[in-house]
């Protein structure tokens, strides 16, 4: 019996794992959106879709998942905004808990990335993120 890769991800210390055809392409223990940004900037995005396992799937991560050519995503938590983005781009999703939106770590208002992602497409959001974090950081 083969273990579920999503269960293995949840048990790991990783914050992001990206698979293609069952093969691990990329993993990271870094926080927030930096791992997805690193994957997009440094790995060849092929024609074959990937499966993305992320600790939190807010709309910002969903937009980057579109840019990364995700065919499916899985996360223990996702936002309603992320679900809309994933659905509108034909990306299957497995979100254990769906919340109205992703909050700041202190729980006081929207996560800044969730807010920044509103009204943007994948390409616009990616460009804005590159501008904000600088090329040297990814």
CATH code of the domain covering residue 109: 3.40.140.30
Domain that holds residue 49: 5-130
Structure tokens at 28: 């990271």
Tell me whether residue 136 is in a domain: no
Burial class from Cβ neighbours inside 10 Å (0-12, 13-18, 19+) for residue 77 reads middle
Tell me whether residue 101 is in a domain: yes
List pLDDT tens digits, range 5-31: 999 999 999 999 999 998 999 999 999
Burial class from Cβ neighbours inside 10 Å (0-12, 13-18, 19+) for residue 16 reads buried
Tell me the average pLDDT across 22-45: 91
Tell me whether residue 137 is in a domain: no
Total number of domains constituting the chain:
1
List pLDDT tens digits, range 52-97: 999 999 999 999 999 999 999 999 999 999 999 999 999 999 999 9
Place of tokens 């993305």: 52
Reported confidence tier of residue 45, pLDDT bands at 50, 70, 90 = confident
Determine what percent of the chain falls in helix, strand and coil, rounding each to the nearest 5.
Answer: 40, 25, 35
Tell me whether residue 100 is in a domain: yes
Quick check: pTM over 0.85? yes
Tell me whether residue 138 is in a domain: no
């Amino acid at each position: 019996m083969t273990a579920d890769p999503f269960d293995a991800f949840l048990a790991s210390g990783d914050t992001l794992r990206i698979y293609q055809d069952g093969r691990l392409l990329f993993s990271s223990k870094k926080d927030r959106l930096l791992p997805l940004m690193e994957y997009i900037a440094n790995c060849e995005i092929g024609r074959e879709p990937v499966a993305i396992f992320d600790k939190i799937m807010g709309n910002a991560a969903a937009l980057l998942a579109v840019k990364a050519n995700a065919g499916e995503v899985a996360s223990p938590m996702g936002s309603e905004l992320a679900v809309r983005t994933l659905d509108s781009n034909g990306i299957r999703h497995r979100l254990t808990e769906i919340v109205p939106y992703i909050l700041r770590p202190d729980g006081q208002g929207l996560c800044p990335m969730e807010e920044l992602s509103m009204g943007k497409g994948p390409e616009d959001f990616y460009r804005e993120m590159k501008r904000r974090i600088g090329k040297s950081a990814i």
